[in-house]
Structure 1
Amino acid sequence: MGIQVVEAVSAAADRIREQAPRNEAAGKLTGEAAAALRECGVIRMLQPREHGGMEAHPREFAEAVLAIAALDGSTGWVAGIVGVHPWEMALADPALQQAIWGPDQDTWIASPYAPMGVARPVDGGYFFSGRWQFSSGTDHCDWIFLGGRVAEPDGTLPEAPEHLHLVLPRADYEIVEDSWDVVGLRGTGSKDIVVADAFVPAQRVIPFRKLVDGTAAREAGLANPTYHVPFSCAFPLGITAAVVGIAEGALEHHLAYQRGRTQITGTRIKDDPYALTAIGEAAAEISASRTALLDNASRMYDLVAAGHEVTFERRAIGRREQVQAAWRAVRAVDEIVARSGGNAMRSDNPMQRFWRDAHMGLAHAIHAPGAVLHASALGQLGLQPPPGPLRNMI
């Protein structure tokens, strides 16, 4: 399955690549770029088979995202983020799945998960309001996952509110135009979302704690180990794969650019041992990032397939591997860009777009290293981090 998707991406490579500057100019994926993603099948890789999905191995999904992001960062980013949402929807109420995919199995679901909304409990569900940033690919989606905090019935927030993921149809939220003006990943169309007192029935709500501890997958009775991989592995996987794929694309453009280049000193790159050493080191670092990311996904899958619990310590180590993969790859991109000369930064050279996209992807909250590295080190020392920020997204 995964091989077929990667082969479809390869067949559509020129089509995806040529949309890159158009995506950036439009501030979102063009219709042609979105159509290419649909036809490649990457968004359905983690979707349940009963709704036309593939239930693919997480590693295969990451490999497909890597391939797309190497062609265009924005298209790969949308594939990585929107492509994870069917994984979570597989854990949701079957009636909700039918409502979304029954009419069209290619329906896309947006996010963000950040708990920026307030959910006030009422009979049968919640009244929900808030504003969120960074809803990638949202113009091409008809439903959305939004993070919220549970308020008291009078609307006030308790000191430690429960976090929820709430699912809303397109009619219940507003996409804020002109809210995505950034230096990188411009083509992702990661716009703001506004919800004003929408009613969300309880059947369209997933408690975040049940995602983190695996309860949601067990309660759904899912047999495929893909759905028992921890949320803290599955959700960041597509994002980090996009960043590493962008780095691979940057390296590919760097090699093509340097192959026949002569420096201002008159030295050809192929005769400059220092430039060649930098290329070799960067290529090795980017390759190591790919290997670490894919190996971590496979290890998590193998653990749950064997019936083992993925402990907090192991999850923290997994997050460490994801975060470091992204940082390692982007540092390598910086090394080769710094040796590409001023012409690499011209608007007509794709390398500058890959460089900007890589840094924008690294700025995502899941790639913040401090708490993740701190928590993983405590775990390896046999110590448990205290409740609070060190446990976020682990």
Structure 2
Amino acid sequence: MHEHTSTDRDSRRWIDAARALASLITAAAPEIESGGKVTAPVMAALHAAGLFRLLMPKSIGGAELHLADFVQVIEEIARADASTAWCVGQASGCSFAGAYVDAAVARDVFGPPDAVLAWGPSTKQAKAVPVEGGYRISGSWMFASGSRNAQWLAGHCPVLDKDGKPQPGPGGRPVEITAMFTKDKAAISDVWNVMGLCGTGSDNYAVTDLFVPQTYTFTRDLPADRRENGTLYRFSVINVYGATFAAVALGIAAATLDSFIDLARRKAPNMSSQLLRDNAAIQQQVGYNYARLQGARAYLLQTLEDMWETLQPDTECSPAQRLHLRMVSTFVIQQAREVVDYAYHAAGSTAIFTSHPFERRFRDMNAVTQQGQSHMANFEAVGQMLMGG
């Protein structure tokens, strides 16, 4: 697949950096899966290439990369190993924190060359109680992808008033803060026994009555809390995750289809002397699935390019734009799933052996589709909007 890039930004550098690590990551993929985390040599190489700093603000040494370029980097990593790409993508979304807290705090969290912050999604099993100088937080969270290689964790916590009720914020919505703390402050539960994305090590974690200084907290996607005004940080973190998961799906699908094309050049079905590549039905199906994948990819990249342009110089993402990007991300993931499903089944019995990455990619792809950003229900709100709801 070809990159979709702009000539006025240094996107080629980062895509090439990801591609240069492909052989290392591919070779480590079985160990990443069996060990439940990205291996130390791969982590070191990713950090050395700056691939955990792509969405960090330039003011703290990050690349503050155009989102259309970032998803292409994630796509390249996912072609080698989906779990590694997922961890880089998750940590990069977490690094948005550097755009919200004071520069000194951002440098404390993200300054070390191997810095990784991990967090799980919002939960009702959390609370933040205001006290002098900060908050006392308690809660338990799930799905902290990449936390086994992280130094810092964070928890999204609704803020309670003195009566224990949710504190209202702008527009009357309850206030939710994100509180950052070092990983040694949390109790970690190893629960990651799953069928796909095994290498993400998405453990549970909990804290009880932990004091977190106010300077180490922020409110996601609230412009008033945002220190950085770059275009990147006008995207919501949720939208960034959606586009990232779509990029992981694209990488898995591209690698799976490539593997089938390679297999088709060599394999003849049992009881047949004709190679798969010479079968007219296979030719048609491969062409169709290639077009399906290219079309979905182009849709995602063009949407990100268009949104980026409309957000300059001082506008925010509108609800309609956020909804559109969520729809596009879901659509791309579902299209990628169809491509993987085709290639896996077309490969026949070859695909079921663990010695070939077909089966791991099939499992990883189906794990991606279980995440909320992938659910077909996301199209409901789009349908409502289109019909005047």
TM norm structure 1: 0.89
User: Within 2, Cα distance between the matches of 1:379 and 1:214?
Assistant: 25
- Note the residue ranges of structure 2 that are not aligned, 5 or more in a row: 1-9
Alignment CA distance shift 1:173-1:85 (3 Å) = same
Matches within 5 A, 1:212-251: 214-217=223-226, 220=227, 222-251=228-257
User: Within 2, Cα distance between the matches of 1:310 and 1:5?
Assistant: 26
Q: Which residue is 1:388 aligned to? A: none
In the alignment, which of 310, 328, 332 is matched to residue 325 of structure 1? 332
TM norm structure 2: 0.90
How far has the Cα of 1:269 moved from its partner? 0.3
AA at the equivalent of 2:374: H
AA at the equivalent of 1:97: A
Alignment CA distance shift 1:233-1:337 (3 Å) = same
Alignment CA distance shift 1:214-1:261 (3 Å) = farther
Which piece of structure 1 moves more, 194-203 or 22-31?
A: 194-203
AA at the equivalent of 2:267: R
Deviations 1:55-91 (A, max 9, x none): 1111111110000001111111111111222223222
AA at the equivalent of 2:119: S
Q: Which residue is 1:299 aligned to? A: 306
On the 8 A contact 1:44/1:106 being kept in 2, the answer is no
User: Within 1, Cα distance between the matches of 2:55 and 2:61?
Assistant: 10
Q: What is the root-mean-square deviation of aligned Cα atoms in Å? A: 2.0
On the 8 A contact 1:113/1:145 being kept in 2, the answer is no
1:63 aligns with 2:72: yes
Q: Which residue is 2:5 aligned to? A: none
How far has the Cα of 1:233 moved from its partner? 2.4
1:40 aligns with 2:49: yes
- Note the residue ranges of structure 1 that are not aligned, 5 or more in a row: 384-394
On the 8 A contact 1:27/1:189 being kept in 2, the answer is yes
Q: Which residue is 1:201 aligned to? A: 213
Task: Provide the secondary structure at the position in 1 that maps to 2:143.
Answer: strand
Task: Provide the secondary structure at the position in 2 that maps to 1:297.
Answer: helix
On the 8 A contact 2:121/2:142 being kept in 1, the answer is no
User: Within 1, Cα distance between the matches of 2:90 and 2:333?
Assistant: 15
Deviations 1:200-228 (A, max 9, x none): 122222224xx1x54433xx2x3421122
On the 8 A contact 1:42/1:61 being kept in 2, the answer is no
On the 8 A contact 1:122/1:153 being kept in 2, the answer is no
1:175 aligns with 2:175: no
How far has the Cα of 1:333 moved from its partner? 1.0
1:3 aligns with 2:12: yes
Percent identity for Structure 1 against Structure 2: 25
Which piece of structure 1 moves more, 120-129 or 66-75?
A: 120-129
AA at the equivalent of 1:153: K
AA at the equivalent of 1:182: V
AA at the equivalent of 1:362: T
Q: Which residue is 1:186 aligned to? A: 198
Alignment CA distance shift 1:216-1:303 (3 Å) = farther
Which piece of structure 1 moves more, 181-190 or 304-313?
A: 304-313
On the 8 A contact 1:23/1:29 being kept in 2, the answer is yes
1:358 aligns with 2:358: no
In the alignment, which of 308, 312, 320 is matched to residue 319 of structure 2? 312
On the 8 A contact 2:82/2:364 being kept in 1, the answer is yes
User: Within 1, Cα distance between the matches of 2:257 and 2:100?
Assistant: 38
1:109 aligns with 2:121: no
User: Within 1, Cα distance between the matches of 2:243 and 2:364?
Assistant: 17
User: Within 2, Cα distance between the matches of 1:291 and 1:190?
Assistant: 30
Deviations 1:175-215 (A, max 9, x none): 223x100000101111111212211122222224xx1x544
